Amino acid sequence: MNAAQLLIQCLENEGVEYMFGVPGEENIDVMDAVLDSSIQFVTARHETSAAFMASTYGRLTGKPGVCLATLGPGAANLLTGVANANMDHCPLIAITGQAGLDRQHKESHQYYDLVDIYEPVTKWNAQIKTGEMIPEAVRKAYKVAAEEKPGATHIDLPEDIAETKVEGAPLPISRSTLPTAETSVIQEAAEIIKKARFPLILAGNGVTRAGASEELKELTEKASIPVVHSFMGKGALSWKHEHNLFAAGSGTDYITCGFSKADLIITIGFDMAETPPESWNPSGRTPVLHIDTATAEIDSHYPVKVNVIGNIRKNLAQLNTSLSSQERDLSWAEHVRSQMLEDMNAHKDDDSFPLKPQKIISDLRLTLKDEDIVISDVGAHKMWMSRLYPAALPNTCLISNGLASMGVAVPGAVGAKLAHPDKTVVAVCGDGSLLMTEAEMETAVRLQLPLIILLWRDEGYGLIEWHQKKKFERSSHIGFGNPDFPKLAEAFGFEALSVEKGDALTETLQHAISLNRPVLIDCPVDYGENMKLTEKLNQIQCD
């Protein structure tokens, strides 16, 4: 067999089901080897999209998604999606074709040193110098990508190595587990919690990765501690729970007063790339109890009193055992929660057209089951979804808030539907973000994936305009023209539905689900609510 065939055998041994990518000249040996394997190759229409598909699949399954590109422009296109996965802590393995070793020492067609280029955006990456190193490289790439904190790894395969004859076999898979914190550390953490008058939990996506939602629920109930989520942590505690104070990260909000009041912030599975500590601990004086798989990043606004490091689920279970039931005055938290619920429901009966963001979110939540999956792209709609979409279960509202790359939702929905074919998957997009990766609509049709695209159409870059108006009170070059989206969707093979009145979205969503095929819903949105929200939140004054 050749080296490319050994590579595919090693990926099969790891349990890889899908490989997302774009065929190229320098990866043809890999493409040929896939034909004789159990791996389903998903041909994407752009390399960035292939990485978005793989990262979403990895985030939802916990198993590294695999993506493939050729050298030069293919690898450069793949890079954005790889960086996005790494910063969002989604397990992913990127494989690139490369120029032969015989021409890497000189200026050569489409050649760049991809190991150097990928170094800043991966946990580990290497070039295959000999076919015999493939089993070790694949095993390491898979292991490093999957272990906490997960992220991206990269294997660069030169075309002359790919075709060489080789002997070898996949390495056996060894599973590793995270240790738990020492008993003395758990006891110290418990004492800190007991002494705090107004503790507050900030739950990140690490809670979901650890499968620690039940332990989080027990902690909040036993110690009477309210929970606020990062954007990517949504659903760690159900929005229906009385201690859920929804999400932090969009600037001043009702929860700002909660952070101001807190005398202890307990971060659990939290990543600073999502929500900078400066935004919720501006003075840097409120102590932090850091519960995670890795020690905290050094930040002057993140003064760690104790690090509880290791398996989050097991450490929380031990912490819960060390705590006795405790009653606290949570009237302030009840006030924050009631204000958020009021905002969530303020426009649920609003029939104005175009639809207000609050109305779109309310109709979407009422239509979908708790276990269904919503993927938000990046734009003004992301800020509304992050703030107001209530998640009852982990990994049901996916928001990319590390690198936060536009265009993630439609290819992400492809990856999500392959991971969970039994769930309704909705990609929430703006017209700016949709047109960055709309070609993957053809991929969804080709794979016969009944996903739904809910398009918030406003004819411009709404989020940038929002920021511009907040700072300068005017906008600059954010408008653009759009195609006829229903016709575009039909050209790709989608069913196209249009929302033409304010009370029509719920029925339209229900119809889209019943069709059981790819559907685009064109929904005009009134972003006049953006500045109204800014003005409202700017008036918040904490006691």
Beta bridge partners of 424: none
Report the alpha-carbon distance of residue 500 to residue 137 in Å, rounded: 54
The model's confidence at residue 382, banded by pLDDT at 50, 70 and 90, is very high
- Is 165 buried (19+), middle (13-18) or exposed (0-12) by CB count in 10 A? exposed
Rg (CA), the chain: 24
pLDDT value at residue 32: 96
Report the alpha-carbon distance of residue 541 to residue 158 in Å, rounded: 60
Q: Is the pLDDT of residue 97 over 90?
A: yes
Which residue type does 114 have? L
8 A C-beta contact, residue 429 and residue 409: yes
Report the alpha-carbon distance of residue 529 to residue 286 in Å, rounded: 33
Q: Is the pLDDT of residue 106 over 80?
A: no
pLDDT value at residue 41: 98
Q: In three state form, how does the secondary structure of 79-105 look?
A: HHHHHHHHHCCCCEEEEEEECCHHHCC
Q: What percent of the chain has pLDDT over 90?
A: 88
Report the alpha-carbon distance of residue 364 to residue 358 in Å, rounded: 10
pLDDT value at residue 283: 92
The model's confidence at residue 100, banded by pLDDT at 50, 70 and 90, is confident
The model's confidence at residue 99, banded by pLDDT at 50, 70 and 90, is confident
Residue appearing with tokens 């905290």:
296
**Is 156 in a helix, a strand, or coil?**
strand
The model's confidence at residue 466, banded by pLDDT at 50, 70 and 90, is confident
What the block records as the tokens of 376 is 């938000």
pLDDT value at residue 176: 85
pLDDT value at residue 252: 86
Q: Give the count of beta carbons closer than 10 Å to the beta carbon of residue 303.
A: 17
Domains of the chain: 3-162 (3.40.50.970), 183-336 (3.40.50.1220), 346-538 (3.40.50.970)
The model's confidence at residue 434, banded by pLDDT at 50, 70 and 90, is very high
Among residues 379, 419, 380, 378, the alpha carbon closest in space to that of 396 is found at 419
What residues contact residue 164 under an 8 Å CB cut-off, 6+ apart? 2, 3, 131
Q: Is the pLDDT of residue 250 over 80?
A: no
Average pLDDT score over the chain: 95
Q: Is the pLDDT of residue 441 over 90?
A: yes
8 A C-beta contact, residue 382 and residue 399: yes
pLDDT value at residue 538: 87
8 A C-beta contact, residue 161 and residue 33: no
Q: Is the pLDDT of residue 108 over 90?
A: no
Report the alpha-carbon distance of residue 162 to residue 213 in Å, rounded: 44
Report the alpha-carbon distance of residue 527 to residue 456 in Å, rounded: 10
pLDDT value at residue 396: 98
Which residue type does 430 have? G
The model's confidence at residue 438, banded by pLDDT at 50, 70 and 90, is very high
Q: Is the pLDDT of residue 346 over 80?
A: yes
pLDDT value at residue 294: 94
Per-residue pLDDT tens over the stretch 181-212: 999 999 999 999 999 999 999 999 999 999 99
Which residue type does 491 have? A
If one compares 513 and 251, the residue with the highest pLDDT of the two is 513
Q: How far apart are the first and last CA of the chain?
A: 72
Lowest mean pLDDT among 106-115, 306-315, 415-424: 106-115
Read off the pLDDT of each residue in 27-56 and give the average, rounded to a whole number.
Answer: 97
Read off the pLDDT of each residue in 239-251 and give the average, rounded to a whole number.
Answer: 91
Q: Is the pLDDT of residue 82 over 80?
A: yes
Q: What percent of the chain has pLDDT over 70?
A: 99
Q: Is the pLDDT of residue 353 over 80?
A: yes
What the block records as the tokens of 56 is 């979403």
8 A C-beta contact, residue 46 and residue 443: no
pLDDT value at residue 274: 82
Q: Is the pLDDT of residue 104 over 80?
A: no
> 244-247 and 199-203 as β-strands: parallel, antiparallel, unpaired?
unpaired
The model's confidence at residue 389, banded by pLDDT at 50, 70 and 90, is very high
- Is 137 buried (19+), middle (13-18) or exposed (0-12) by CB count in 10 A? buried
Q: What is the pTM of this model?
A: 0.96
Q: Is the pLDDT of residue 103 over 90?
A: no
Per-residue pLDDT tens over the stretch 282-299: 999 999 999 999 998 899
Read off the pLDDT of each residue in 314-343 and give the average, rounded to a whole number.
Answer: 94
Q: Give the count of beta carbons closer than 10 Å to the beta carbon of residue 338.
A: 11
